[in-house]
Amino acid sequence: AHRSAPLGKFTLQIGAHPTMNDAKSQAESLEALGLKPFLRPADVKGKKWYRVYVGGYETKDAAETTGNRYVSQHMVDAFIVSKMVQ
C-alpha cells in the first residue's frame, strides 16, 4: 500500500533500506511518534532500495528547519532534503 505523497516541492528522506520490511519497520516507529512517513522504491547502482520519506514542504528552507527539529527531538537520526517524488 503506497501512501500518496504529501503536497510540496521538497520532502525529507530519513531512511533507505535494502528490504521493504526494514523500511516498513522504520515507518511504523515513525508513525508511533505521530509522523506520516511514506515509502518509495529507488534503484541504486542496480539494486532496489526502499526509501522512507516524511512531509511535504514548499521550500528547501522549510524542509531543512523541520528536519533539524525532528533531529533535535530525537524523532529521526538524520535526514536529506530531497525533491518530492510522486
Per-residue pLDDT of 2-57, as tens digits, reads 567 788 999 999 999 999 999 999 999 999 999 999 999 999 899 999 999 999 99
pLDDT for the residue 36:
92
60-70 confidence digits (pLDDT tens):
999 999 999 99
Confidence of residue 1 (pLDDT cuts 50, 70, 90): very low
CA-based torsion, 5, 10, 11, 15: positive or negative: positive
User: What's the predicted TM-score (pTM) here?
Assistant: 0.90
Residues 6+ apart with CB under 8 A from 7: 56
